[in-house]
Structure 1
Amino acid sequence: MFYRRIGDDLQVALTLPQHAEALFALTDENRAYLKEWLPWLGAVTTVDATRRFIDLTLDNFAKGTALHEVLLYQGEIVGVLGFNTIDKTNGIGRVGYWLGEAYTRRGLMTAAVADLLHLGFQELQLQRVEIRCATENRRSRAIPERLGFQFEGTLRSVERVGQRLHSPAVYGLLRSEFQAKD
């Protein structure tokens, strides 16, 4: 099983079918908190829907086109992150993440995304990593800003979440920039 220790209380692991119940429970508990930002939330209303999602992520992982991880804090699933897409031809990974509300403001996701960057640039040999965040989502935007990503612009009205169209801020980090920091 893919598993990485980030700190004493923090680990990431490849999302597997045995995580379905805990992951669904976390999603369901945080539904009101997450609904403003996540377009897929309405489609995940059962544990079976979570299982189907996990199966899809594992298929994509086997193809080398994505990597989905659960974030564990003190042994409990508290969020998810990963490369939602990996463009192998161009060496580009697009990062996505979310964290249960009770676990925010502790630096957990920043540490986990930093670990994901090491994995992406060193093991997956990516040339570029991209993060897109709704312009209004300051907490989410703070992560790439803390990790040295460059703000590259805003895509206007491209992601529907409920009745709203979000305009994501696009952040990019190149392998050369990552190596210069390391």
Structure 2
Amino acid sequence: MFVHKIDEDLSLKLMELKDADWIFKLTNESREYLREWLPWLDFTIKPEDTVEFIKMCLKGFSENKSLNTVILFKGEIVGVAGFNNINWSNKTAYIGYWLGEGFQGNGIMTKVAKALTEYAFIELGLNKVEIRAAVENKKSRSIPERLGFKNEGCIRQAEWLYDHYVDHVVYGILANEWE
């Protein structure tokens, strides 16, 4: 079982099927808040949808293609973060994350993104970590900016978000730039 302790209050744990009800509950409680920037909320309408998502994540983990975790803050699931994809050929990991609305503003996601980046470089021996966020998603963009990631450009109309396209800013950091 993958568990990565960040500090006394914060850790990452590989998703398990038994986490489905908690993840779904958190998703449901933050649905309107998360819907602004995440395209999958309308497809996550019952706990079974979260079970299927976890199964997909566990398959990716078993195939060494991804690492998706729950974020535990003081023992409670408060969000999801991890490597949505690991490209071993190019030695690049792609971080994705979301945090329940009630847990915003505590520095949780910055610590999580930092821990994932360090894990990618130190434990996995990767060369690059990328984080993508919608241009207008200031909260999400502030995380890689705070951690010293470089703005590598904009992908126009990168994602369909319910009824419109959004552009994405691509942030990246190389192993030799990480301190």
After TM superposition, the score normalised by the length of structure 2 is 0.98
Matching residue of 1:25:
25
Amino acid across the alignment from 1:36: E
Q: Secondary structure at the match of 2:141?
A: helix
1:124 Cα deviation from its structure 2 partner: 1.3
Q: Mapping of 1:3-42 within 5 angstroms?
A: 3-42=3-42
Matching residue of 1:107:
107
Amino acid across the alignment from 1:84: N
Matching residue of 2:79:
79
Q: Secondary structure at the match of 2:82?
A: strand
* RMSD (Å) for aligned C-alpha atoms: 0.7
Matching residue of 2:152:
152
After TM superposition, the score normalised by the length of structure 1 is 0.96
1:166 Cα deviation from its structure 2 partner: 0.7
Q: Mapping of 1:25-174 within 5 angstroms?
A: 25-174=25-174
Amino acid across the alignment from 2:64: G
Hey, what's the Cα distance between the residues in 2 that align with 1:65 and 1:3?
18
Unaligned runs of 5+ in 1: none
Hey, what's the Cα distance between the residues in 2 that align with 1:7 and 1:161?
35
Hey, what's the Cα distance between the residues in 2 that align with 1:145 and 1:21?
33
Q: Secondary structure at the match of 2:156?
A: coil
Q: Secondary structure at the match of 1:156?
A: strand
Hey, what's the Cα distance between the residues in 2 that align with 1:40 and 1:121?
29
Unaligned runs of 5+ in 2: none
1:83 Cα deviation from its structure 2 partner: 0.4
Worse-superposed segment, 139-148 or 6-15 = 6-15
1:4 Cα deviation from its structure 2 partner: 1.6
1:2 Cα deviation from its structure 2 partner: 1.1
Amino acid across the alignment from 2:86: I
